[in-house]
Structure 1
Amino acid sequence: MPTLSHAPEQKAKTSLRPSHQPSAPARLGAGSWMIIFVLLLLLAATGFVAYLGWTLADGIEVSTAGYVAMAAGVLFSLIVGCGLMALIFYSSRSGYDEPPVLITSETNPKRADRPPSD
């Protein structure tokens, strides 16, 4: 039957102490703010161009062939995307993504009788 004589020692070992590792800076620098500002400007410009494209296209009709082409493009893109994701999962689970392993003469019986070539 186990005893609990080491319980205080284990508790002392697992107590939470502040780490001595430096923490991440709390504030963003000037470079980070510039990047955020430029990205927000690009987002606003994209929204403006999308708005112009939406409102200036009033009165233009899309033919049936246009809708068929658009549907075929979307369907083809989905098929290609799903196929590539399936290949990624197959490759990962089949071991094709593992690093190469050097086969030496000790593990290969056909090469055991040959002298090493330099």
Structure 2
Amino acid sequence: MKTGSIILLALAALAAVGGVSAYVWVSLGDVEISWLGLLAMGFGVVFSLGLGIGLMALVYFSNKRGYDDEAGH
């Protein structure tokens, strides 16, 4: 029962975020982004993905090689 409640809460949060995002998207209207803005956004997305993937890889390899075993002792 606890797992079902968590799933229901997560789906409700997802629906709320989707609704707010759709409202903001529609209310923006005819906003244009220059090519420099698109370029900056693209670099930001690539940088964020690279940083996230790199940090998760470090966590994975650190755990796999046993570097985390002595932490907290």
Q: TM above 0.5, one fold? A: yes
Q: 1:81 aligns with which of 39, 52, 55?
A: 52
Larger Rg: 1
Identity of aligned residues (%): 42
How far apart in 1 are the matches of 2:21 and 2:33?
18
Aligned CA RMSD, in angstroms, stands at 2.8
Count of residue correspondences: 68
**Match in the other structure for 2:61:** 90
**Match in the other structure for 1:109:** none
**Structure with more contact order per residue of length (Cα contacts < 8 Å, sep ≥ 6):** 2
Within-5 A mapping of 1:1-118:
28=1, 32=5, 36=8, 40=12, 42-99=13-70
Give the gaps of 5 or more residues in structure 1.
1-27, 101-118
Alpha-carbon displacement from aligned partner over 1:57-78 (angstroms, at most 9, x marks no partner):
2211111111011101111111
How far apart in 2 are the matches of 1:86 and 1:43?
27
Q: TM-score, normalised by structure 2?
A: 0.67
Runs of 4+ in 1 over 6 A off after TM superposition: none
Q: TM-score, normalised by structure 1?
A: 0.46
Give the gaps of 5 or more residues in structure 2.
none
